Structure 1
Amino acid sequence: MSIFNSQTAAAFGRLGHQIIGQIAEDNLSENAAKNVHKFTQGKSLAQMSTWADEIRSKPKWRYTAPWHYISIADHENWSTVKRMPNGDILSSLAHFEKVLSDPHTTPTKKWQALAFYVHFIGDIHQPLHVGYRHDQGGNRVKLTWFGKDSNLHSVWDSKLLAHQQLNLAEYTRLLANITPEQKRAWTGKNYYQWADESKVLRTNAYLLAINPAAELELGADYEATNLPLIELRLQQAGIRLAERLNLIFIQ
């Protein structure tokens, strides 16, 4: 059974995934955009980005739950960590890249592969989806967020972004100012390097404040520290998704 249920494993929530999809769409080459849109059935990458979460509660698709994350301890590395027998986010990204690159893939399989691929590139950039086993990627860390009951995973998935009260178009415009220097620094890396970044960044997630009642209470200070990290990961994921799709759909 997956350690994440269908409600808590939606990295970045709908908004975050859609922002990543839109940033990627805006950075596709002309040729890649044309080839991608041949089989997306009129949907944008932003629209496709949430499909993998939307289907997961259906019995037919429950087996895909482990594909959304990987668990690793601080002292482990990718050669020593025990991998899930039913797959994880790293193996899934590699698999769906191959499916998308295969000219013999049927249009339906290619659509599904793209929807999974877009979503999982978002997931791997959410630090708590490269999480700890013992607390289920922060799901077991109960706390209050601006006075309301929540958990650490949920804060990083959606609540930090939602608290800004911006819609998709507004947030995408806010994050669209990405310099050529940033793009060069972010691209050219592999899936394991992306996961390593998340593994390092998850340390920030656990710098938690305890109130006088000995409860974890997060608010404005935590938001000010960690919102820029989440926004950076959205930008990186969008640029890297575009990079991969530009290579896959070059012809």
Structure 2
Amino acid sequence: MKPAVILISATLALSAFASQQAHAFGQLGHRIIGEIAQNNLSESAQNQINALTKGESLAQMSTWADEIRSDKNWYHSSPWHYVSIEDDETWDTVKRNPKGDIIQSLEKYEKILKSDKVSEQDKWEALAFYVHFVGDIHQPLHVGHSHDRGGNSVKLKWFGDDTNLHSVWDSKLIEHQKLSYTEYTKFISRIAGKDIKEWEGKSYYDWADESKALRDATYKLEKNRDDQPDLRFQYIFDHTATVELRLQQAGIRLADKLNIIFAK
């Protein structure tokens, strides 16, 4: 049994179904990112990660950080999945959450992964969180407005069914393609070398700025005849390219970071 799995209580097991329903993006989008990253790891990183995870893939472990949120022992981790910043704020002026945010968490877990003085269990947890948070920060609404909770308070319809804007970007735009995570990964894995070079080497703040720049477009909602926001094929057509770009960038950047961390 993997060291970190011991920490997951029986309560989590009983609530697994509810957790899966609440975190559908973790079921597909995070696994796509993990699979892209796995396919771009160096031999050194691959070997060290396999030893740490006992052969569990990045795609498999990518959902853990969402699944544990059903366990009361991990309720405190919820703010780590996002950061709030308004359009007119900068990273120098914004008031950061004292309970932590996604940028602080990425910095924290990168340090743990680089350390030779932590337990195997702590390092496994750090890797699981890190894999997940690299994905989250590339979703535009995880660098969101505090007043609408990153689009969670923006109620709308998806093909006539009630939902919210954040859920559309977490899961529905990806799930609409009706592909498994391995199929989706194959569909979007043809990435030009020049793009890879352009994406690599940027900071966590750069990644967050990209999401911040993209989020305004997510609020341009398709409406039905009654002038109600009811997202359908036009919204999918308008935003699928952005979703797939962010999946690609997250996967490539995750591999790049892990190749550096596990270079020795």
Question: Scaled by the length of structure 1, what TM-score is found?
Answer: 0.95
Change (3 A) 1:130 1:143: same
Pair 1:178-2:158 in alignment: no
Q: C-alpha root-mean-square deviation of aligned residues, in Å?
A: 1.4
Partner secondary structure for residue 165 of structure 1: coil
Of residues 121, 124, 128, the one that matches 1:115 is 128
44-53 vs 209-218, which deviates more? Answer: 209-218
Corresponding residue of 1:239: 252
Corresponding residue of 1:150: 163
Of residues 40, 43, 46, the one that matches 1:27 is 40
Task: Spell out, residue by residue over 1:216-241, the C-alpha distance to the aligned partner (whole angstroms, 9 max, x if none).
Answer: 11110100010110010000000000
Distance in 2, matches of 1:202 and 1:67, equals: 19
8 Å CA contact retained: 1:56, 1:62: yes
TM-superposed deviation, 1:203: 1.0
Identity %: 57
Partner secondary structure for residue 157 of structure 2: strand
Distance in 2, matches of 1:88 and 1:41, equals: 29
Pair 1:74-2:64 in alignment: no
Unaligned ranges ≥5, structure 1 = 1-5
TM-superposed deviation, 1:211: 2.4
Partner secondary structure for residue 73 of structure 2: helix
Pair 1:85-2:72 in alignment: no
**Structure with higher RCO (Cα < 8 A, 6+ apart):** 1
TM-superposed deviation, 1:215: 1.2
Unaligned ranges ≥5, structure 2 = 1-18
Distance in 1, matches of 2:103 and 2:239, equals: 25
8 Å CA contact retained: 2:138, 2:250: yes
Distance in 2, matches of 1:31 and 1:42, equals: 14
Change (3 A) 1:8 1:198: farther
Corresponding residue of 1:44: 57
Change (3 A) 1:11 1:72: farther
Specify the code of the residue in structure 1 equivalent to 2:108. H
Of residues 141, 147, 156, the one that matches 1:134 is 147
Distance in 1, matches of 2:179 and 2:24, equals: 18
Corresponding residue of 1:225: 238
Aligned pairs for 1:50-61 (under 5 A) are 50-61=63-74
Q: Which has the higher helix share?
A: 2
Corresponding residue of 1:3: none
Distance in 1, matches of 2:181 and 2:172, equals: 15
Task: Spell out, residue by residue over 1:40-88, the C-alpha distance to the aligned partner (whole angstroms, 9 max, x if none).
Answer: 1221000000000000111111100000000110000101111011100
Corresponding residue of 2:14: none
Distance in 2, matches of 1:210 and 1:168, equals: 30
Count of residue pairs the alignment pairs up = 246
Distance in 2, matches of 1:94 and 1:10, equals: 24
Specify the code of the residue in structure 1 equivalent to 2:155. K
TM-superposed deviation, 1:146: 1.4
Distance in 2, matches of 1:107 and 1:192, equals: 29
TM-superposed deviation, 1:11: 8.2
TM-superposed deviation, 1:148: 1.3
Task: Spell out, residue by residue over 1:167-206, the C-alpha distance to the aligned partner (whole angstroms, 9 max, x if none).
Answer: 1111010011011111001111000000000000001101
Distance in 2, matches of 1:124 and 1:57, equals: 21
